[in-house]
Amino acid sequence: MTKTPALMVLGTGSHVGKSLMVAALCRIFSSAGLRVSPFKAQNMSLNSAATSEGLEIGRAQALQAEAAGIPASVHMNPVLLKPSSDTTSQVIVRGKIFAQFSAEDYFRRRNEELLPIVRESYEILAAQNDLMILEGAGSPAEINLKDRDIVNLRMARVAGARCILVGDIDRGGVFASLFGTLALLEPSERDLIDGFIINKFRGDIRLLADGISALEERIGKACLGVVPYIENLRLDEEDSVSIEHTESKPWLPDNSPNRLLRVAIIRFPSISNFTDFDPLIAEPSVDARFCRTAEEVAKADLVILPGSKQTVADLCWIREAGIDEVVRLQAARRLVVGICGGMQMLGAAIDDPHGVEGQGTQAGLGLLSIRTQMSREKTTREATGELIVPELFGEPLSSSTVRGYEIHVGQTEYLETSAPFARIRRPGDSEEFAFDGCTNRNGRVLGTYLHGIFHEDAFRNEFLCAARKACGLAPADSVLNWKQLRENEFERLAGTVAGAVDPQRLLGLVGLVWLSVPTQEGACASRR
């Protein structure tokens, strides 16, 4: 049987732009009429997303599916590794917890067991699409792991994919990294790679000409394009390296009612799903940043405790950093919000009888009247609903609709005097609704299990309006249309890549021909 044409994006290392390159190609080819799907056999990330069927995948693959204009599927990322420490990871297989493994155990034995599942997921997607865009992980030339690697060139062979190698010139040493990567591959592996792309270039492209020619001659591979650096691209970054870009100068005293709302997002060592806050960071009336010190947090109007992969350990870190007392002070005079693990920390206690994250009981910050018990099962599902009361931070709302998704380990119970935050509905639930989150008595502290809640324009605008008023600030002059901005960013990304990398040439690598006149059905390519 003829295999579905497949193109794989490999990188000289992590954070060279593989994920966004795949997203760009998904948008380029889907916009031209092809049925396109992303695929990454194995991903390692603390940023994840819930699919419509209530399963967990890497955030990058959800982004790529959005770029392609299709629903995210668990088959797009059949294996997700979520680090629990420097040497262990929680292994998610097809959206559900499979096991907790040490790195040595996983890479020496376990990943081989998962290859048939990976292959099956790939074949399910490939049968439904005209073109598959695969993403590698890290570098294909990790010689200490290469013989057990199921995500890079081995996956390329499974898919019958042609490969392109991406290097990041913004970090320096791009020619050496491209040459070195290919030098460490076996001849049969190098034969799978048709050329290279230089990514994130700034400056005069003419200065690259001699270097590109010399590299092409040395490695016998063509340069397929030089992609410019895209300033302030507001699309999900998977690596925590991107958090650094939100750190800026310290907040100075400012009593102006028109100043920006100061939002401190506590940067735990095991912070997860930090892309929850991309819309807040993009808001023109907000100065949101990730903070690691008590001094930074104390200067904020609004403090957010985000999600965490290791909730108990991060709660201990908060205490060691002296941030716990600052959060309590902020709860009395300003505003505090907890998302998922952050909400669990704000409660009375976290019990862990099964040793999911340790053992025993850890006292919480005591700002919400809830108690959480860690469980072996993970809750992963989308949810919609409305706030219990028509106000936020003591301020009236004109709209109370909420929408997001849950990804958490642990069940939270309400204690006396507790007040739920929202009434939500989950697809497939037998019950009509369930309660989510909690607020304290004065309404200045709230928590929710819902990730992605700030991605909804109506709720975010109401939230920020209430927060500004509660902090004595004037209404914002302008608000952000996040959905439109995100769509514009996809188009900007795709347009930049298409202008630097010839899409027709890339299709030719996988045996497809670009048709200048679309068919009635909109398809733009055919097999040779």
| Residue 15 is a catalytic residue | no
Q: How far is the C-alpha of 281 from the C-alpha of 278, rounded, in Å?
A: 5
pLDDT reading at 160 higher than 90: yes
Domain boundary assignment for the chain: 6-42+115-234+486-527, 259-476
Q: Is 469 a residue whose pLDDT tops 60?
A: yes
As to burial, measured by CB atoms within 10 angstroms (0-12 exposed, 13-18 middle, 19+ buried), residue 213 is exposed
Q: Note the CATH number of domain 259-476.
A: 3.40.50.880
Do the domains at 6-42+115-234+486-527 and 259-476 have one common CATH topology? Answer: yes
**In the annotation, is 451 catalytic?**
yes
**Of the listed 163, 223, 291, 340, which one is catalytic?**
340
Residue of 451, 465, 471, 524 marked catalytic: 451
Query: What pLDDT score does 400 carry?
Result: 83
**Which CATH number applies to 6-42+115-234+486-527?**
3.40.50.300
Query: Average pLDDT in the 429-450 region?
Result: 89
1 pLDDT above the threshold of 90: no
Q: What is the pTM of this model?
A: 0.88
User: Is pLDDT of 523 > 50?
Assistant: no
Whole-number Å distance between alpha carbons of 51 and 144: 34
Distance between CA atoms of 190 and 114, rounded to whole angstroms? Answer: 25
pLDDT at 248: 65
Of residues 82 and 159, more confidently modeled:
159
What tens digit of pLDDT does each residue of 120-153 get?
A: 999 999 999 999 999 999 999 998 888 888 999 9
- Model pLDDT for residues 40-92, shown as the tens digit of each residue: 999 988 888 888 888 999 999 999 999 999 999 999 999 999 887 777 888 88
Q: Average of pLDDT values for 473-478?
A: 93
- Angle at CA of residue 231, ends 230 and 237, nearest 5°: 75
Q: Give every CB contact of residue 273 below 8 A, 6+ residues apart in sequence.
A: 46, 47, 48, 59, 306, 307, 339, 340, 407, 451
